[in-house]
Homo-oligomer: A and B are copies of this chain.
Amino acid sequence: MTDQLTHFNDQKRAKMVDVTDKAVTHRVAIATGQIHMHQETLSRIHEGKIKKGDVLAVAQVAGIMASKQTSSLIPMCHLIPLTGVDIHFKDNGIDTITVKAKVKTKHVTGVEIEALLAVQTTLLTIYDMCKAIDRGMLITNVHLVEKDGGKSGHFVYRKEV
């Protein structure tokens, strides 16, 4: 563990960390998260794909667009021109959808927050699209899966036991 919360200046106030002299490198981050719902809600989403309307299509567009807004929403984040964003869905066939977002750039700082925001927004859009039938959905297990590039190197998430 490094020694400093780097986001503060000598007045003990937040700052956007100076990355002017960091190297431009390939950077990639993968994040994930889940939403739990009633079994019936998941059935509707499945059907929808076929005959009612595609909840996940909307959610995924939202996730991609949100990742581009990261620096507008998260106060100390640098603006990063993303070079790729891809979002995948998996579900357990019962009551849970898992979202995974992969974000890439070639820049001086990483895209972990961009990937996490893509996941959060995708999940919240699923909630929004289905809330009329299921207000009790639960968003959970949102975390970075893996990141690469930059000085801090490779990171892989390990569940604390």
A residues with a Cβ closer than 8 A to B are 1-9, 11-20, 26, 33, 36, 38, 40, 44, 48, 51-58, 60-62, 64-66, 68-69, 71-89, 104-108, 112-113, 116-117, 120-121, 124-125, 127-144, 147, 152, 155, 157-158, 160
- Copy number in the complex reads 6
Contacts A38-B1, A53-B12, A124-B120 known; A75 to B58 CB distance under 8 Å?
A: yes
Least CB distance from A22 to B in Å reads 8
Least CB distance from A2 to B in Å reads 6
Contact B8 A48 (CB under 8 A): yes
Contact A136 B129 (CB under 8 A): no
Complexed CA–CA distance, A10 and B152 (Å): 31
Least CB distance from A127 to B in Å reads 7
Contact A61 B14 (CB under 8 A): yes
A55: nearest chain-B partner, CB-CB: B5
Least CB distance from A124 to B in Å reads 6
Complexed CA–CA distance, A74 and B160 (Å): 32
Q: Which residues of B contact A125 (CB under 8 A)?
A: 74-76
- With A18-B83, A136-B160 known, 4 other A-B pairs at CB within 8 A are A7-B55, A78-B83, A113-B131, A140-B141
Contact A84 B44 (CB under 8 A): no
